[in-house]
Chains A and B, each alone.
Chain A
Amino acid sequence: MANSTNSVAVETRRASRSATAKKITVEIGRPIITIFIALLIGGVIILLMGEDPIFAYGMLFRGAFKGMSNIIATLQNTTPLLYTGLAVSLAFRSNVVNIGVEGQMLFGALAAGIVGYYVHLPWFLHLPLAIAAAGLAGALWAYIPAILKAKLNVNEMVVCLMLNPIAQLITSYISSYPLKAPGPTNKTYDILQTAKLPQFSKSSQFNAGFFIALVLLLIFWYVNNHTKKGYEWELIGQNPSFARYGGINVEKNIVQVFLVSGMIGGLAGAEQALGVYGAFYNGFSPGYGFDGIAVAMLAKFNPLVISLSALLLGALNSGSIVMQMMTSVTRDLVKVLQAIIVLLLAANFTLEMFRKKRKDDETLKKRPKTERKNHE
């Protein structure tokens, strides 16, 4: 009897271990296959343009990682994606489709730029205040879709869709007219030295914002996995009606998730305004908000994995400059790769449906056996 229970335990442990192993391979496998497919399609495009894909990708890789200055530049390109990736993934994890990160980032950057120039304080107060202002601005802008969703059940995605160009036009107006610094470019006044995020390299704008982002990732990894709030946020994404029966105020949590996600979006703007440009520049973002979606989906909304997926896309962005110089393939190829990655990851492929179905069959077959064993 003891022997049999022992063997059952061993068997189940082995089964669960192989199941987790399978799960891990599926979890890691899918993003890797996706990246591979995207690179393959990109290669075909390069080939059609009469260039050598291996040479072009080689240049991209060299541009991203060869030598210290390139590595630093890659890290600088990675930094905004850490923020936007985290902002998107916090929201998506709770099934709050915050596609308004772009607008939240613009307002964050503008707020940081304004506080960075108009407020006079010693640096240990000025810098935190400018960063806090950016987070607050992002959160406030995210409050609009949040409250409309929670109170009036207006589709948050449609609202975000309208709010992005509104944010773009408002910040563009403010930096082009009322608060425009003299000169040909539409930007606000350069921030004071006391509000600057410290830079660490002469060749690029790599700055302390990178480390702040890493700390944020750690914090939210902890919040997601080890706190009640993190569990609630996950639950409202996975099964809102179950969460509601469990006594969780779903609407309140949706608003909270939106605010936190918007705040991090705002911080992305702070890093750009206080660390990279030293002012709010109109049109500074090449679409970091969308990049954040790609980063978040590649990382399956896991804050720790975001550091890897952001590094991947940051390296693509950074290395593509060299590719563009050395071949006739422009940097825009990276956009194509990202779009393919997002499309493939957003899709629920029939292959996976098939796999799930088979797993169900297996569990059905197994059930009588284990039940029998339990009765023994």
Chain B
Amino acid sequence: MNDILTLDLITTIIRISTPLAFAALGGLLTFKAGILNIAMDGFMLMAAFVGVGTAYFTGNLYISVVAAVLSSMILSALFGYFNLKFKANIFIAGTAIGILASGLTAVLLKGVFGQMGVFTAGKVLRFPQYNIPIIKDIPVLRELFSGYTILVYMAYILTPVVSFVLYRTKWGLRVRAVGESPDAAASLGINVFSIKMQTVILSGFFCGLAGAYLSLDYVSLFSRDMTGDRGLIALAAIFFAKGDPVRTVAVTLLFGTAQGLSVRMQLTAGIAPQIMQIIPYFVTMLALIIVGVQAKRKHFNIEATTAR
């Protein structure tokens, strides 16, 4: 058990959870506005592809990240438009956007780069690793919190920012109002469509960062369907944490751990990887059931008191 829980593992978990954290932050904004964003895998995949493609043509990582984020935002706008303007069922539209991204990236992978499965952007580009001034001199903390790339820091710095924006700003208040009661919000003069659309496009922004991180930082390549349900796991984390930003990101770390351990557990303890991989979905199912039972009990209590 000792060689499983090393400092190195915690670094791995932080890195493996970064795309989950990004996606969860994006999904959280839409969640607060009353939209269940199941298209996040599609956004991420598109960004991952465009990121590697741009890196291949420009050789510049930062331009690639910008291009990746833009592509993801465009796709999210399409999703938002179909759901909010054309009133397409969100689950069907979301699934369709996911399939669209999966198919389109695979077609373009062959069409533009002549590859069937995996594509590397020429010579491998790497983001520089940053060391945090004081922490870099303290032994254990150095290994844990220092020496990551800029995107990793961004994910965890953006967490309190999102929390602040949602709970301490006028815009955040509007988002929450729209999510809790769109009719009441509309009667107060809030443009519900516009606010919802803004959150969807922002979720595209965050998923773009997640996708760019996946294909340009975490690994330096694009492979077919490389997001592997990370958007869904992020959504599960949001449900599990009941939509609280800091808690949600904490849960993504937990789910990231399950992912990170799935390979190691197989090698060291002989536990099938599926058992670790199922944890995020399984605990989220349990959480959904518990929330449902609580809501029902509350409802019963209200009924009982009013009956009296």
Task: Please give the residue numbers on chain A whose beta carbons come within 8 Å of chain B beta carbons, in ascending order.
Answer: 45, 48-50, 97, 99, 148, 151-154, 157-159, 161-163, 165-166, 169-170, 172-173, 176-177, 287, 290, 293, 297, 328-330, 332-336, 338-340, 342-343, 346-350
| A-B contacts, 5 listed (Cβ < 8 Å) | A45-B111, A154-B292, A165-B281, A166-B282, A346-B86
A residues near B292, Cβ cutoff 8 Å: 148, 152-154
Q: At the interface with chain A, which of B20-28, B100-108, B198-206?
A: B100-108
How many residues of B are counted as interface, with CB atoms below 8 angstroms from the partner's CB atoms?
Answer: 48
B residues near A163, Cβ cutoff 8 Å: 281, 285
Q: How far is the CA of A293 from the CA of B93 in the complex (A)?
A: 11
A residues near B110, Cβ cutoff 8 Å: 328-330, 332
Q: How far is the CA of A159 from the CA of B285 in the complex (A)?
A: 7
Please name the residue on chain B nearest to A339 by beta carbon: B100
For the complex, would chain B's binding face be called helix, strand, loop or mixed by DSSP majority? helix
- The proximity string for B residues 256-267 relative to A, scoring 1 for CB distances below 8 Å and 0 otherwise, is 000000000000
Whether B82 sits at the interface, judged by CB under 8 Å, is: yes
Q: Determine whether the beta carbon of A153 is less than 8 Å from that of B88.
A: no
Question: Given the interface contacts A177-B272, A343-B82, does A336 sit within 8 Å of B107 by beta carbon?
Answer: yes
Task: Please give the residue numbers on chain B whose beta carbons come within 8 Å of chain A beta carbons, in ascending order.
Answer: 36, 38, 82, 85-89, 91-93, 95-97, 99-100, 102-104, 106-108, 110-112, 114, 116, 229, 232, 235-236, 239, 272, 274-275, 277-278, 281-282, 284-285, 288-289, 291-293, 295-296
Q: Determine whether the beta carbon of B100 is less than 8 Å from that of A336.
A: yes
Q: Determine whether the beta carbon of B95 is less than 8 Å from that of A290.
A: yes
Q: Determine whether the beta carbon of A158 is less than 8 Å from that of B274.
A: no
Cβ contact of A162, chosen from B36, B95, B288, cutoff 8 A: B288
Q: How far is the CA of A205 from the CA of B106 in the complex (A)?
A: 27
A residues near B296, Cβ cutoff 8 Å: 151-153
Q: Determine whether the beta carbon of B278 is less than 8 Å from that of A169.
A: yes
For the complex, would chain A's binding face be called helix, strand, loop or mixed by DSSP majority? helix
A residues near B92, Cβ cutoff 8 Å: 97, 99, 293, 297, 342, 346
Which has the most chain B C-beta neighbours within 10 Å: A49, A162, A328? A162
Q: Determine whether the beta carbon of B88 is less than 8 Å from that of A161.
A: no
Q: Determine whether the beta carbon of A332 is less than 8 Å from that of B274.
A: no
Q: Determine whether the beta carbon of A158 is less than 8 Å from that of B89.
A: no
Please name the residue on chain B nearest to A99 by beta carbon: B91
B residues near A329, Cβ cutoff 8 Å: 107, 110-111
Shortest CB distance A72–B (Å): 26
Please name the residue on chain B nearest to A95 by beta carbon: B89
A residues near B38, Cβ cutoff 8 Å: 161
Q: How far is the CA of A99 from the CA of B295 in the complex (A)?
A: 24
Q: How far is the CA of A45 from the CA of B296 in the complex (A)?
A: 50
Q: Determine whether the beta carbon of B107 is less than 8 Å from that of A49.
A: yes
Please name the residue on chain B nearest to A340 by beta carbon: B100
Shortest CB distance B132–A (Å): 36
Q: How far is the CA of A290 from the CA of B282 in the complex (A)?
A: 22
Q: Determine whether the beta carbon of A335 is less than 8 Å from that of B99.
A: yes
B residues near A348, Cβ cutoff 8 Å: 86-88
Q: How far is the CA of A169 from the CA of B106 in the complex (A)?
A: 24
Q: Determine whether the beta carbon of A161 is less than 8 Å from that of B293.
A: no
Q: Determine whether the beta carbon of B107 is less than 8 Å from that of A148.
A: no
Q: How far is the CA of A84 from the CA of B232 in the complex (A)?
A: 22
* 4 A-B pairs closest in CB distance: A335-B103, A152-B292, A49-B111, A347-B86
B residues near A165, Cβ cutoff 8 Å: 229, 232, 278, 281
Q: Determine whether the beta carbon of B278 is less than 8 Å from that of A332.
A: no
Q: Determine whether the beta carbon of A170 is less than 8 Å from that of B274.
A: yes
Q: Determine whether the beta carbon of A347 is less than 8 Å from that of B116.
A: no
Please name the residue on chain A nearest to B288 by beta carbon: A154
B residues near A158, Cβ cutoff 8 Å: 36, 239, 288
Question: Given the interface contacts A48-B111, A166-B281, A343-B100, does A349 sit within 8 Å of B86 by beta carbon?
Answer: yes
**Beyond A45-B107, A169-B281: 18 further Cβ-contacts under 8 Å?**
A45-B111, A49-B111, A99-B91, A153-B292, A153-B296, A161-B232, A162-B284, A166-B278, A287-B99, A297-B92, A329-B110, A332-B110, A336-B103, A338-B103, A339-B96, A347-B82, A347-B87, A350-B86
Question: Given the interface contacts A335-B106, A343-B88, does A161 sit within 8 Å of B278 by beta carbon?
Answer: no
Q: How far is the CA of A336 from the CA of B285 in the complex (A)?
A: 31
Please name the residue on chain A nearest to B89 by beta carbon: A346
A residues near B88, Cβ cutoff 8 Å: 343, 346-348
Q: Determine whether the beta carbon of B274 is less than 8 Å from that of A173.
A: yes
Shortest CB distance A341–B (Å): 9
Please name the residue on chain B nearest to A160 by beta carbon: B91
A residues near B284, Cβ cutoff 8 Å: 162
